[in-house]
Amino acid sequence: MAGFDVARVRKDFPLLERSINGQRIVYLDSAATSQKPRRVLDAMQQYYETCNANVHRSVYQIAGEATEQYENARHKVRRFVNAASEREVVFVKNATEAINLVAHSWGRMHLQPGDAVVLTHLEHHANIVPWQILAAERGIEIRWVPLTHDYELDLTDLDRLLDGAKAFCFSAMSNVLGTITPVRLLTDAAHAHGAIAVVDACQYVPHVPTDVQEMGADVLAFSAHKMCGPTGIGVLWGREALLDAMPPFLGGGDMISDVRLDGFTPNELPVKFEAGTPPIAEAVGLGAAIDYLNDLGMANVRAHEMALTGYALDRLEERYGDDITVFGPRNVEHRGGAISFAFRDVHPHDISQVLDQSNVCVRAGHHCAKPLMRLLGVQATARASVYVYNDADDVEALVEALAAASDFFTI
């Protein structure tokens, strides 16, 4: 099934060795956050125990080592997404902050009343609300690319929507539907209309080999914690010329080259956007997560998840037929491993509660995508999502545990 042995991979994740009431944990919520391998936890521990000091500040040895580890993480990120240089890799808190940074800095510099920003109906709140804040403040127009009945972007009117637009901001993979969008086609379309392409790749980078140059993106955002790394750090990648022309977002230490009583001169990229002491241990953890994923091989990760997602869709359909509705593409080539579903008329909260009795962890709710929920005509969905440590046994546990939901809620 995969180029790696899932049983061995699972042993790398200490949390997955925990049992509750004598039963193992079936973790199917990696679209919310992934579990962390020992290697990441050890790297962060090693940093704190051997060279904890502030970065970019002091001349003593451990400060130098801390800076080196921090910058080495940036180098690993650059290679992982094939950025042209380290100057294009900005460490932020998470993908949400990355998009907010772009909306705040680039948006305030370039958008005038009446300008249009194009979003899609499958966006996470993180790629909606920053633009809505700007819309309220600047009087810009937000346009929406709709969805087809197959849960893919409906590109019929794309040219009309992009006409005169300044930015096209879209997700590379939906956190609800799993849909993978045609990124290159979309970035080309944006550029043909003179718009920049902002890619929310929070669900994409952890699961699919990513090459920002091949994608043709101008900006790409992702979070470490969904890719085996720690919480508290994410990445804003941007084309150097674009980032260079953008004003600073947060002001403070590290982001300046000079401060006088009458003003300041911002520092160079990328630290121009890294005000204050950054998440150093978290960067080290992210670097270790990238090493871990590279050892598995991102092509193998993608192949594993395609096979497992296909298996899960088949098993759910076989067992429950019309009693289950999956919201998302059926073709695994067009989707990732987030499987949102409705089961009979049991509310997702109740499904999640019943599954928890079997230690099957799935998310229930609106997944921070309320506009999409309204379009789907549901208030919430249950969502199971797979990653490198999940296998067919986990899918079977989900299928079995769902049967218990019927016992309580079927009259």
Partner 1 sequence: MPGLEDLYREIVLDHYRNPRNKGELPVPPAVRTEGVNPLCGDEIAVYLNVVDGHVVDIKVRGQGCSISQSSASMMSSAVKGRTVEEVRALVRAFMRMMSIHEHALESDEAEPEPEVKLGDLEALRGVVKFPPRIKCATLAWFTLTQGLDEATGATA
The footprint of partner 1 (CB under 8 A) covers 20-21, 347-350, 353-354, 357, 364-366, 370, 373, 379-380, 408-409, 411
Minimal distance, residue 347 CB to partner 1, in Å? 4
**Distances from the Cα of 236 to the Cα of 87, 209, 277, angstroms:** 11, 17, 17
Q: Considering the complex, state which of residue 135 and residue 364 has its C-beta at the smaller distance from partner 1.
A: 364
Residue burial 52-87, b: 16+ Cβ < 10 Å; e: rest? ebebbeeeeeebebbbebbbebbebbbebbebeeeb
Q: Considering the complex, state which of residue 138 and residue 370 has its C-beta at the smaller distance from partner 1.
A: 370
Minimal distance, residue 374 CB to partner 1, in Å? 10
Separation of alpha carbons 144 and 375, rounded Å: 12
Q: Considering the complex, state which of residue 51 and residue 401 has its C-beta at the smaller distance from partner 1.
A: 401
Minimal distance, residue 407 CB to partner 1, in Å? 9
Is residue 260 packed enough to be buried (19+ CB in 10 Å), middle (13-18) or exposed (0-12)? Answer: exposed
Q: Considering the complex, state which of residue 184 and residue 349 has its C-beta at the smaller distance from partner 1.
A: 349
Minimal distance, residue 348 CB to partner 1, in Å? 8
Minimal distance, residue 397 CB to partner 1, in Å? 17
Task: Report residue 34: phi and psi, to 5°.
Answer: -90, 165
Residue labelled with tokens 């941007």:
238
Given 169, 202, 361, 368, the catalytic residue: 368
Minimal distance, residue 356 CB to partner 1, in Å? 9
Q: Considering the complex, state which of residue 335 and residue 367 has its C-beta at the smaller distance from partner 1.
A: 367
Q: Considering the complex, state which of residue 182 and residue 365 has its C-beta at the smaller distance from partner 1.
A: 365
Minimal distance, residue 145 CB to partner 1, in Å? 24
Our answer to whether residue 169 is catalytic in this structure is no
Read off the tokens for 156.
Answer: 């019929």
Q: Considering the complex, state which of residue 174 and residue 181 has its C-beta at the smaller distance from partner 1.
A: 174
The set of catalytic residues is 368
